[in-house]
Amino acid sequence: MKLQGFLSCVLDPRLERFEMIRVAAIRLGRLGDLVMVLPALQWMSGFAELSVHLICADRYRELLARLLPAVQVHGASGSRELGSFDVVLDLHGVAASFRLGRSLQRSGHGFDLRVGKQTLARRGQLKGFLPWTRLAASLSAGLAGDAPLRTWPERHLLLTQRALSRLGLDPGDCPSVVPRASLSGAAHRRPGRLGLVLDAGHPSKRWPVERFVRLALHWHDLTGAEVVPFAGPDNAQLFEGFEQLNFARPASPPDPLQLAQRLAGCDLVVAGDTGPLHVAGALGCRLVALFGPTSTETGFWVWQGQGVALAGSAACRPCSLHGAGGCPRWEQVCMQDISVEAVVEEVIGLTSPGRRSA
């Protein structure tokens, strides 16, 4: 493959050979944000000319290193020791990632690219309950114009395609099928085992725990399969409704890697719009995603081909890009509107032959 004008940056005249092009991809943020970069980095790491590095929050480094064995993964706290890079891809698009990228870029040559957050277009999709929320959404939609709103993985893939083209590599079309990630040390996946993610980074994205309990009872009555409810170590009180269910095996993994290893053992997972939802999808679990204050229309994603997005019909949803701030109606109508029966129907549907997504 030709590397066009970029060859002068990587040719070592003393050795008369080409050195690998050092590429730094930056994605800070939380677990769900990081999982969204997997398709782009899996694609980029397939080019032998590139040495691909991911810089992320320290607590997720071990998990991402396991999910991306062909990528060198570093915690952000140690990024100053990494030296400079020929190409810097800012996959986050915030001030902190911009500053970090500038500090890593090799002076004199190379380039950097920054992902577009499409904030105005995303805010233009919001509805909300309060009048000023609707007014702000209307103004954002007007300013955003008619540009298509893309999911986070799509934006990362398009930025990667641009980078590969600028390097003179032949990227072709963006991948239409995302490879499933593998994870060493994962629990053995049992057919029918149902994972229930009770927790969420923002309480407004939690489905009521009593409904998860009813779902567990329904599923066990139908299949006799094991149910694994998940919650963070600081939210063990969410397990209270499962204490009398002898078929439930509550899990409260202490770190992201152990969380992923336990999720990988589930055949199906029901969760709100949370990091564990996206991790489970990347590992090949079948998903029922429960969307309340957030929405697939604002750029979020149910892992490709792995499940369905289920949302209530509340007129005020979606009201938030990330679910922060709580419900202004004090009722959490959007999550209350999702019935146990509707979720059971979708879970059963995913186990039907030939059905993976809707």
Query: What's the CATH number where 274 sits?
Result: 3.40.50.2000
At which residue do the structure tokens 């990528």 appear? 71
Distance CA 72, CA 53 (A): 5
Name, in order, each residue with C-beta under 8 angstroms of 136's C-beta and a sequence gap of 6 or more.
Answer: 123, 126
Clarify whether residues 301 and 158 are in a common domain: no
Query: Domain containing 295: what range?
Result: 194-350
Clarify whether residues 121 and 262 are in a common domain: no
Q: Please report whether residue 358 resides in a domain.
A: no
Q: Please report whether residue 71 resides in a domain.
A: yes
Clarify whether residues 85 and 222 are in a common domain: no
- pTM comes to 0.84
Q: 28, 56 in Cβ contact below 8 A?
A: yes
Distance CA 212, CA 215 (A): 5
pLDDT at 108: 59
Long-range contacts of 248-251 (CB under 8 A, 24+ apart): 248/216
Name, in order, each residue with C-beta under 8 angstroms of 163's C-beta and a sequence gap of 6 or more.
Answer: 23, 44, 87, 89, 113
If one counts the domains in the chain, the total is 2
Q: Please report whether residue 357 resides in a domain.
A: no
pLDDT at 40: 93
Clarify whether residues 131 and 242 are in a common domain: no
Q: Residue-wise pLDDT tens for the chain (358 aa)?
A: 434 444 444 444 433 445 789 999 999 988 988 888 999 999 999 999 999 999 999 999 999 999 999 999 999 999 989 999 999 999 998 899 999 999 998 765 678 888 876 555 555 555 665 554 655 555 555 555 566 667 788 888 999 999 999 999 988 888 876 777 788 778 888 889 999 999 988 888 899 999 999 999 999 999 999 999 999 999 989 999 898 899 999 999 999 999 999 999 999 999 998 999 999 998 989 999 998 888 777 666 677 667 898 988 887 777 777 667 777 776 788 888 999 999 999 999 998 755 444 4
Q: Please report whether residue 73 resides in a domain.
A: yes
Rg (alpha carbons) of the chain, rounded to whole number: 22
Clarify whether residues 238 and 120 are in a common domain: no
At which residue do the structure tokens 């019909």 appear? 313
Clarify whether residues 216 and 75 are in a common domain: no
Clarify whether residues 108 and 214 are in a common domain: no
Clarify whether residues 29 and 129 are in a common domain: yes
Clarify whether residues 109 and 244 are in a common domain: no
Clarify whether residues 198 and 306 are in a common domain: yes
| Cα distances (angstroms) measured from residue 204 to each of 156, 274, 292, 326, 335 | 27, 11, 8, 5, 8
The separation between the first and the last C-alpha atoms of the chain, rounded to the nearest angstrom, is 39
Clarify whether residues 322 and 203 are in a common domain: yes
Question: Taking Cα atoms as reference points, which of 291, 164, 270 lies closest to residue 212?
Answer: 270
